[in-house]
């Protein structure tokens, strides 16, 4: 808690504070970057390996307090350098950082530190951000449970028996538990939006090509992307602009009227129809009614050919591109391993990851494989189909739950029934935001978060952000996680 020394009462709690609030109190001299950084470091110490043991962090920046002091001095000397001056941010541990290892959670990369920051981290630091630490992920960012050899299993701070989504689940749990003001993730299928959905957060997968992915450990050049994870839509938009380099402003026009007149297509093929889907469908239906009250025009769509599980099975190209991409990265950044064979020999991997990597090794000329070329053709056809759907119904966005069912329990072998593949394959932008909670249970005192998703046309990211902002202002679905306290 920060309180002014005189005048009107300006009590301010850092917990759950949004970036504009943090900037305001820092500008007013009520809070320093050192105090803010120390607050988050104390929370990490108390809640990550102690207390509820969320296991969201893989490393903490040993220079964070020193960097905070330097930024405080700079603020006094010449004012803030950018929109994140003195704001602590966490980044997924597949982003290169020169002052911390970049391991992707893998034993084979333990201790590997790149010579320079990746492009997005450079943009963050240029805007004044303090890179507080690196977050756990599903090893090599390959699956959606957020479990790694170096970091163990990250827990969901709303229900410690649940996963936090993935693969960027460490960032999701850390941001929701208030270990930092916001964070970054990567997304080859679902991996920014899945943790947002599971942790009552906002996650943005930008239009493909807006983010410069240089210096991020890759999986697939067709599907890879990077994006922000934050507690509010505006915070996510601020981070989006900084990560992207400031060329694509997306916060103009944020208002409570952002849904008025928007045409939203409800993609019913992305909803489940079984009993286990009922709670998610209930939340999605309630949100649609509220969007209509806010002025949106809702159009029901019958598109049985758009089936998320079939798209993932028939069109996903990660297996074909992973060898080329990872080995390119290993060579460019002088990693301790240079091939997938060396990667497999240098560390232990859980069976699904080992099988995935072995399949990429076992078939020669993967980028010339007939099945791969056929999948690329089908992805082009899917993109055309989606463009036609938008044009035919004059849509501004498609709407669906990010995950048809609740996020899965720790110990399950997959993060089932997610819908992120449509944006990943087509390159269209998507935003996931809090829709509400399931019913409370013994392990989830306020329920499990349920995330909703809007998918828009390429380069209309700002329109999606405006729509999600308007819904957020009306619905106010953000809740502090019950298992994010040191006493738990």
Tell me: the pLDDT tens digits for 220-259? 999 999 999 999 999 999 999 999 999 999 998 899 999 9
**pLDDT at 5 > cutoff 80:** no
In the predicted structure, residue 23 carries a pLDDT above the cut 60:
yes
Q: Is 432 within 8 Å of 424 (Cβ atoms)?
A: no
- 427 has a pLDDT exceeding 80: yes
pLDDT of 487 reads: 54
How far is it, in rounded angstroms, from Cα 484 to Cα 319? 36
Q: Identify the band that residue 4 occupies on the pLDDT scale cut at 50, 70 and 90.
A: very low
Report in angstroms the alpha-carbon separations of 33 from 14, 52, 99, 224, 413.
12, 27, 19, 33, 41
Ordered DSSP codes for 350-398? -HHHHHHHHHHHHSS-GGG-HHHHHHHHHHHHHHHHHHHHHHHHT-SEE
pLDDT surpasses 70 at 2: no
Of the CA atoms within 13 Å of residue 408, those in its CB half-sphere come to 15
pLDDT at residue 7, rounded to an integer? 36
Element (H, E) at 454: strand 449-455
9 pLDDT above the threshold of 50: no
Residue 8: the pLDDT is: 35
CA of 12: how far to CAs of 17, 479, 486, in Å? 8, 18, 21
Q: What distance in Å separates the CA atoms of residue 335 and residue 178, rounded to the nearest whole number? A: 32
Q: Report the b/e string of 24-50 with b at 16+ CB within 10 A.
A: ebbeeebbbbbbbbebbbebbebbbee
Q: Give the span between the Cα atoms of 272 and 283, in whole angstroms.
A: 13
Contacts of 412 (CB under 8 A, 6+ apart): 145, 163
The fold of the 19-475 domain, in CATH, is Amidase signature (AS) enzymes (3.90.1300)
pLDDT average, residue stretch 32-57: 97
Is the predicted pLDDT of residue 443 greater than 80, yes or no? Answer: yes
Give the distance between the most distant pair of CA atoms in the chain.
72
pLDDT given at position 202: 99
Peptide bond into 167 cis (omega under 30): yes
Whether 353 contacts 139, CB under 8 Å: yes
Q: Read off the pLDDT of residues 374-415 as tens digits, 9 standing for 90 and up.
A: 999 999 999 999 999 999 999 999 999 999 999 999 999 999
Indicate if the pLDDT at residue 10 is higher than 60. Answer: no
Task: Give the pLDDT band of residue 363 (cuts 50, 70, 90).
Answer: confident
pLDDT tops 70 at residue 488? no
DSSP-derived 3-state class of residue 475: helix
* pLDDT of residue 48 exceeding 50: yes
- The whole-angstrom separation of Cα 95 and Cα 191 is 14
Give me the residues paired with residue 450 across strands: 436
Write the DSSP symbol of residue 406. P
d(CA 147, CA 403): 19
Catalytic residue IDs: 92, 167, 191
Reference 240, options 232, 254, 250; nearest CA is: 250
The phi-psi region of residue 436 (left if phi > 0; otherwise alpha if psi is between -120 and 50; otherwise beta) is: left
Could you tell me if 160 and 52 are in contact, meaning their C-beta atoms sit under 8 angstroms apart? Answer: yes
State the pTM of this model: 0.97
Mean pLDDT computed over 341-366: 92
Helix, coil or strand: residue 403: strand
**pLDDT value at residue 38:** 98
- On average, the pLDDT of the chain sits at 96
């Amino acid at each position: 808690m920060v309180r002014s020394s005189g005048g009107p009462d300006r009590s301010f709690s850092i917990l759950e504070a949004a970036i504009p609030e943090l900037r305001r109190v820092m500008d007013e001299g009520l809070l320093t970057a050192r105090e803010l950084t120390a607050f988050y470091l104390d929370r990490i110490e108390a809640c990550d390996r102690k207390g509820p043991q969320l296991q969201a962090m893989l490393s903490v920046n040993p220079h964070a307090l020193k960097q905070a002091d330097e930024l405080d001095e700079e603020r006094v000397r010449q004012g803030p350098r950018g929109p994140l001056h003195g704001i602590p941010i966490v980044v997924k541990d597949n982003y290169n950082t020169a002052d911390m290892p970049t391991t992707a959670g893998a034993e084979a990369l333990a201790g590997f530190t790149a010579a320079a920051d990746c492009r997005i981290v450079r943009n963050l630091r240029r805007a004044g951000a303090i890179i507080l630490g690196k977050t756990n992920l599903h090893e090599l960012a390959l699956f959606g449970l957020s479990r790694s050899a170096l970091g163990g299993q990250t827990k969901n701070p709303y229900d410690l028996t649940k996963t936090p989504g993935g693969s960027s689940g460490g960032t999701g749990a850390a941001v929701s538990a208030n270990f930092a003001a916001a964070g970054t993730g990567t997304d080859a299928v679902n991996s920014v939006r899945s943790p947002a959905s599971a942790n009552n957060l906002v996650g943005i997968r930008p239009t493909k090509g807006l983010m410069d992915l240089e210096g991020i450990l890759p999986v697939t050049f067709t599907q890879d992307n990077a994006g922000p994870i934050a507690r509010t839509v505006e915070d996510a938009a601020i981070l989006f602009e900084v990560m992207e380099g400031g060329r694509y402003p997306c916060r103009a026009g944020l208002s409570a009227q952002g849904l008025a007149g928007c045409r939203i297509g409800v993609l019913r093929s992305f909803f489940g129809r079984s009993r286990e889907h009922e709670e998610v469908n209930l939340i999605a239906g309630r949100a649609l009614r509220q969007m209509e009250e806010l002025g949106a025009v809702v159009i029901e769509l019958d598109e049985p050919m758009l089936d998320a599980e079939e798209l993932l099975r028939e069109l996903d190209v990660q297996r074909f591109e992973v060898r080329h991409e990872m080995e390119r990265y290993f060579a460019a950044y002088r990693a301790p391993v240079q091939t997938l064979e060396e990667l497999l020999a240098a560390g232990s991997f859980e069976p699904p990851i080992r099988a995935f990597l072995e399949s990429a090794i076992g078939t020669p000329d993967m980028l010339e494989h007939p099945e791969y070329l056929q999948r690329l053709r089908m992805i082009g056809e899917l993109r055309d189909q989606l463009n036609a759907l938008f044009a035919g119904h004059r849509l501004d966005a498609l709407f669906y739950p990010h995950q048809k069912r609740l996020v899965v329990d720790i110990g399950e072998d997959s993060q089932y029934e997610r819908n992120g593949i449509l944006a990943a394959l087509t390159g269209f932008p998507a935003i996931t935001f809090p829709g509400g909670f399931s019913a409370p249970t013994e392990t989830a005192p306020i329920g499990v978060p349920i995330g909703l998703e809007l998918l828009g046309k390429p380069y209309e990211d700002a329109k999606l952000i405006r729509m999600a902002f308007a819904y957020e202002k009306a619905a106010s679905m953000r809740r502090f996680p019950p298992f994010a306290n040191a006493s738990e």
